[in-house]
Amino acid sequence: MSTNPFGTDIKDTDILDDLGFFDDWEDRYRYIIDLGKKLPPMPEALKTDANFVHGCQSQVWIHADYNAAHNTLDFLVDSDAFIVRGLAAMVMAAFNHRSPQAILDFDIDTYFKQTQLIQHLSPTRGNGLKSMVRKIRQAAEVARAGA
């Protein structure tokens, strides 16, 4: 999973800066979709019920891998919808390659507020985004308890 640029080469602060360059939401949506194209592929074998994110309008899978040596969680994510892959990429920029405690401490609501994203998503997409975050935080809780 080390080839995943999200959380290392592409961070939440980078996305906030980039979104600030766009004047309208059509350009921002294109940017978000392009982010999703940078996600590494998820092997079909990882698209299991255990990795499936319930509560999303689209099909979404998140696989968490705890690296005990570095005390970090590495994620792979995939979706059948381009915009959702982009939204997942934004989430990965905030959470991927972070310690379980850093994931739990990260203020995702402020991050989303700064992107002005939630107000431009349908309620079902917004709920799906929250479901992704909940699944990631659950993985962080499990990793923290086992560390």
Q: Catalogue the active-site residues.
A: 56
d(CA 66, CA 89): 19
Question: Can you read off the two tokens belonging to residue 107?
Answer: 């203020």
Residues 6+ apart with CB under 8 A from 25: 120
Local structure of 136: helix, strand or coil: helix
The secondary structure of 62-113 as a DSSP string is EEEEEETTTTEEEEEEEESSHHHHHHHHHHHHHHTTB-HHHHHHS-HHHHHH
